[in-house]
Amino acid sequence: MKKIAYLWLLLAATAANAQTANSPRFVNHTEFGGLFGRVKYSNPYTGNQEQVDSKTSLTIQTFNGVQLNRRLSAGVTLGMDWYKAALLNLVAGGVRYDLVGRKNVQLFGTVDAGYAFAWFHDDSEGFDTKGGLMVNPGLGIKAGKPGSAAFTLALTYKRQEAHVTKVPLWDQKERFEDRVYNRLALRLGISF
Amino acid sequence: MPNRMKPKLLLLCIVAWLCWSCNDQCKETRVVRRFSNVTYSLMELRTQVKAEAPRTLEQPGKMYVKGKYLYVNEIKKGIHIIDNGNPASPKFITFINIPGNGDIAVRDNILYADSYSDLVSIDITDPTAPKEVGRVKNVFQTGTFDGGSWALNETIGAISDQNVEWVEETVAVNCEDNISPTSWWGGWLFADRAFLSSASSASPQSSGSTSGQGGSMARFALDRNFLYAVGQSRMHLFKIDKPSQPVDFKTIDLGWGIETIFPYDNKLFIGSSSGMFIYDNIDPAEPKQLSMFRHGRACDPVVVHEGVAYVTLRTGTACGGAQNQLDLVDVSNPSAPQLIKSYQMENPHGLSVDFPTLFLCEGEHGLKVFDVSERFSVDKNLLAHFKDMHAYDVISLGKTLLLIGEDGFYQYDSSNPKDLRLLGKIPVGKAI
């Protein structure tokens, strides 16, 4: 899984290198927002009745890359997601593509894919949280004059995997959890 | 806004709407102990003790050594007889099928084993063809193996047993650690086999070169003409004047949670979950309680050497308890044992002393070797710590060290206790 993240980094780096000859334009897109979702689970305290809880998490990320042509830019996305029981740091390759729009309002597509690490996550005793693959495609609106800073609003779907090794309970000898966070990410940001 | 942009914005809304119904998917996978109740007819069980072709270790329990032979219990199934003439390549000779077996003792050519409620004597003159020669029926009332308990139902002549199996289950959880309110159970786990496999059974010996030697977790002990077998709450005495025909001689009530027995210097040191009992055994037919050394609730195998008892307490067992420690107890006056010093340990199980060296099993934390000649600074004299193994019980035979754990049976050359040399290993689940 990590390999894919490295591959993306490599790809982004190569893309960046390819442009150095034509003095490429550097692009930064920094966003923060929320990850909204739900979880349906059987609650052991209410006789295993199925229950639905809402989930909201904070997310920040920054995309740094180069403008490859008038519409497309590619680079590396670094970010941090505060899930309720996991703090994950993502390292991903990303692209931004201007789809359509007037001069100062653009609809753009965004895709980030990579791996999230639990470097800064502090586990409870006996627990061990590991990150996993992440993919985050979506659409956004960019408002601002071309060539200068712009505000962005992006709506994306984020899928994040994680694995947690847990302390077995009294009648167990092994316990672990495979998580897939499926979230709607709503982010505000600036891009220049 | 240009018209051509409107469908794209609509697309944006659709994406949002689709994502809004996003659900996190979290699956927790657990390996859980499941009990299933079974009833066995005693009539049938009593026909099943017989020699079978050698088989591999699957779930090794206690071990016993006599001469060049090793006897390794397969929990609840029977006993492996292993020719250990060459420790580098031990050979499985026979498997004795004994339903409900947990403990072993050997005197001369007779092997004593428990089989649920019965004590069976087996002639092993020819280790390739052992045969049952005697049986004392219905002496043990209850016992447990691996967390599942069994009970004798004399009125219908049956054993009500619980089979234990580990099953994997997967459930949808709420993507959080949900530590409370069940986390305190966590420390409870890990089948302490000494306690959990507490059938009612025999242990190390103190006298007579004709007996073998068991580990510190043993529940059978041989002393002169008696076999002592401790159950969960009692000690049974079997008279073995005629070795092949043990006679149920006497039962002594001890209180709950009896775990191990260690005979030494005409005394019986009995480890229970609430403390260590010392019985005077000058008259082997009449053990008399001299004292009890109390401590917190925990399981505690005991070994003794020249007036000092080495007692281990551990948590993480069915015995409860909150300490992991090694206690040195002065038993030079057996009527009034006095604590010398307590040392913190990780998860101590069986132990063996070859003065001045103490071998201590730390369960999944491996094996520790101490020099105990300086009794107030044992912790400063750790000679070695072998971490890459699971150690449950250990028998020191001077130059050789026998060690058993969940992953197999090990033999070491211990002539230099600082540098144990592995002679051979019999891994679980592998044929030799």
Domain boundaries, chain A: 2-191
Q: How far is B189 from chain A (nearest CA, A)?
A: 5
Comparing alpha-carbon positions, the chain B residue that sits nearest to A185 is: B19
Q: How far is B34 from chain A (nearest CA, A)?
A: 8
Q: How far is B227 from chain A (nearest CA, A)?
A: 35
Pairing label, strands B60-66, B367-371: unpaired
E runs forming strands in B10-156? 23-41, 50-52, 60-66, 69-74, 78-83, 91-97, 104-107, 110-115, 118-123, 131-136, 142-145, 148-153
Separation of alpha carbons B309 and B304, rounded Å: 4
- For residue A181, the chain B residues in CB contact (below 8 A) are 24, 175
A170 interfacial to chain B (CB closer than 8 Å): yes
Q: What is the predicted pLDDT for the residue at B21?
A: 65
Peptide bond into B356 cis (omega under 30): yes
ipTM above 0.90, yes or no: no
Structure confidence by residue, pLDDT tens digits, B25-67:
888 898 888 888 999 999 999 999 999 999 888 888 888 988 8
Domain formed by A2-191, architecture: Beta Barrel (2.40)
A7-46 residues touching B, CB cutoff 8 A: 36-43
Average pLDDT over residues B214-228: 87
Comparing alpha-carbon positions, the chain A residue that sits nearest to B17 is: A184
The residue count for chain A: 192
Task: Note whether A180 contacts B25, CB cutoff 8 Å.
Answer: yes
Query: Which of B25, B185, B390 would best serve as a mutation to test chain A binding (most A beta carbons within 10 A)?
Result: B25
A173-192 residues touching B, CB cutoff 8 A: 173-186
Task: Note whether A177 contacts B173, CB cutoff 8 Å.
Answer: yes
Task: Note whether A170 contacts B166, CB cutoff 8 Å.
Answer: no
Would you say B285 and B321 are in contact if contact means Cβ atoms under 8 Å apart? no
Least confident of A136-145, A169-178, B50-59, B319-328: B319-328
Q: What is the predicted pLDDT for the residue at B193?
A: 37
Structure confidence by residue, pLDDT tens digits, B388-405:
888 888 988 888 888 888
Tokens representing A110 are 């965004």
Query: Which of A50, A142, A167 would best serve as a mutation to test chain B binding (most B beta carbons within 10 A)?
Result: A167
Task: Note whether A183 contacts B23, CB cutoff 8 Å.
Answer: no
Which one has a higher pLDDT value, A40 or B178?
Answer: A40
Phi, psi of B10 (to 5 degrees): -60, -40
The pTM score is: 0.71
Query: Which of B30, B190, B193 would best serve as a mutation to test chain A binding (most A beta carbons within 10 A)?
Result: B30
pLDDT higher than threshold 80 for residue A133: yes
Task: Note whether B24 contacts A184, CB cutoff 8 Å.
Answer: no
Task: Note whether B32 contacts A126, CB cutoff 8 Å.
Answer: no
